[in-house]
Structure 1
Amino acid sequence: MEVPLTLQIAKLLISIGIVLGLSMVAERVSTRVAGLLSGYPLGTAIALFFIGLELSPEFAAESAVHTLAGFTSTLALGGGYLLCGRRNGVAGVLAGTAGGLLCWLAASAILAQIDFNRLSGTLTTLAAILAFTWLYRRVPDTRTTAKGRFSWWALAFRSGLAAAIIFVITGLAHVVPTAWAGILAAFPVTMYPFLVILHLTHGIAPAATVIKHYPAGLGSLLSYALCVSLTYTSLGLALGTLLGFVVATLWLLLWTRLQRWWQSRKVAKFNPN
């Protein structure tokens, strides 16, 4: 199926805007917030939406079922990156990328062999979230320091990498089964370029902070994928996407409130007066 040029341009522009926005959050707000937002349905929403446009809403809805389990592969990518990319600079980025992609591919190959439904896919990723959250418990939080305006090379790099990933995912969706299309849609389209940028400009410490907090934001992604898997066929892509973002936002707000409550409880426990 030939994809219209307007859709290709739309994918390019949306991908650029989202990656740049995440980078600005990390530099101007905090890497912790950026890690949480990396789990917001940004790249996945783009991938599933354009898969639905280019193929069919039914194909995208079925793929979204496998996306639920595919987030486990994304967690594996983060873990592999953290293990292998411990050096600063280009060498660290290359090692982290190699380790992360190898872990992602291994996890994806296993997941693609399983016939997931909505419940089993969600439970698989929930178990992975708990496991990785525990594994990252000793990773320190590190803030970045603002470095002024973005350079042209950084803008071009972010734009090209984000667009390339989106184009690869949506292109492969035309030739792979729905299981692999769903797993590809779970690939960290926004988080991975963001990690590379952060690692190159600030070192591994703040990149590790983003990886540490990424599992906490996955509840929002799970909510989104579950919603669109139920609504794309019956309500269409536009309304299904809108409802997916509403559900994902409500989850993120609820999670943030729970975190604040937990932190205040810990403070009260250590400071009873």
Structure 2
Amino acid sequence: MEVPLSWQLAKLAVSIGMVLGLGAIAVRVSPRVAGLLAGYPLGTAIALFFIGLELSPGFAAESAVHTLAGFTATLALGGGYLLAGRRPGLPGVLAGTAAGLVAFLAVSLVLTRVEFDRLTGTLTTLVAIALFTWLYRRVPESVARPGGRFSWTALTVRALLAAVIIFVITGLAHVLPAAWAGVMAAFPVTMYPFLVILHLTHGPDPVATVIKHYPMGLGALLCYALCVSFTYPTLGLALGTLAGFAVATLWLLAWTRLQAWQGSRRARNASTRGASGRT
């Protein structure tokens, strides 16, 4: 099917605007709000939406079922990058990217040979989340040092890279079966460019910290993919996408409240132990 130029331009504008918009929010509103928005399944949403627009909502819904399991391949990409991308600068980025892509494709090859349904796809990724969280338990925490003025150049490069990835994913969907299209839609469209820029500007240590915490941030992505697998055939692409974002929003709000509650509880316990130690 030949894709109209207007759709291609819309895809380009949405892909670039997604990343630039988050950057503007981080600078002009607050990093906290930007961090909350970064938890949205933006890359996956754009990929599945345009797959549905260019092919059919039914094909996109079927692909979304495989996206649920495909996040396991995304975790493998992070693991490959972490293992190989330990050098600073461009050599580390290239080595990490190569290893990450090999890991992603290897796991994808296995996943696409399995007939997943919504339950087994979700359970597969939940098991992978638990496994990678355990594997990353000894990865040291590192915080990126402030790098001076905000770099719109770096953000633009990140946006263009995200747009290229979206075009590759949606283009492959025209020649690949739904299983492969779904797994490709799980590719970390926004996270991977972020890792590249972070690696080039701050070195491999902060990148390792981002990868360490990535598994626990997959909840909104799982909720979104699960929701649109139901809503695309029944509500259509527009309403189905809105429903997916609504479910992802509820998850993020619940998750942030849980984290805040756990943080306050740990603080109270620490203060209680400190007070008892002084008596």
Q: Same fold (TM over 0.5)?
A: yes
- Cα pair 2:65 2:116 within 8 Å, conserved: yes
- Cα pair 1:38 1:191 within 8 Å, conserved: no
- Cα pair 2:19 2:155 within 8 Å, conserved: no
Identity of aligned residues (%): 69
Cα distance, 1:135 vs structure 2: 1.9
Q: TM-score, normalised by structure 2?
A: 0.90
- Cα pair 1:41 1:220 within 8 Å, conserved: yes
Equivalent residue letter for 1:248? A
Cα distance in 1, alignment partners of residues 40 and 145 from structure 2: 21
Deviation string 1:26-47 (CA, Å, 9 cap, x unpaired) is: 88738xx75x755421100000
Cα distance, 1:131 vs structure 2: 1.3
Equivalent residue letter for 2:220? S
Matched with 2:186 is 186
Matched with 2:18 is 18
Cα distance, 1:271 vs structure 2: 2.0
Unpaired runs of 5+ in structure 2? none
Cα distance in 1, alignment partners of residues 85 and 37 from structure 2: 22
Matched with 1:147 is 148
Which runs of structure 1 show a deviation greater than 6 angstroms over 4 or more consecutive aligned residues?
A: 24-28
Deviation string 1:117-160 (CA, Å, 9 cap, x unpaired) is: 000000000111111122222330413414314254x3553233
Deviation string 1:55-111 (CA, Å, 9 cap, x unpaired) is: 000000000000000000001101111111011100010011011111101110110
Cα distance in 2, alignment partners of residues 23 and 199 from structure 1: 17
Cα distance in 2, alignment partners of residues 136 and 23 from structure 1: 28
Cα distance in 2, alignment partners of residues 203 and 141 from structure 1: 10
Cα distance in 2, alignment partners of residues 219 and 136 from structure 1: 18
The structure-2 alpha-carbon separation of the partners of 1:270 and 1:159, relative to structure 1 and needing over 3 Å to count, comes to closer
Matched with 1:201 is 201
Matched with 1:87 is 87
- Cα pair 1:40 1:217 within 8 Å, conserved: no
Unpaired runs of 5+ in structure 1? none
Matched with 1:96 is 96
Matched with 1:46 is 46
Cα distance in 2, alignment partners of residues 136 and 146 from structure 1: 27
- Cα pair 1:47 1:166 within 8 Å, conserved: yes
Equivalent residue letter for 2:174? H
- Cα pair 1:68 1:118 within 8 Å, conserved: yes
* SS of aligned partner of 1:260: helix
Structure 1 or 2, whichever has the larger Rg, is: 2
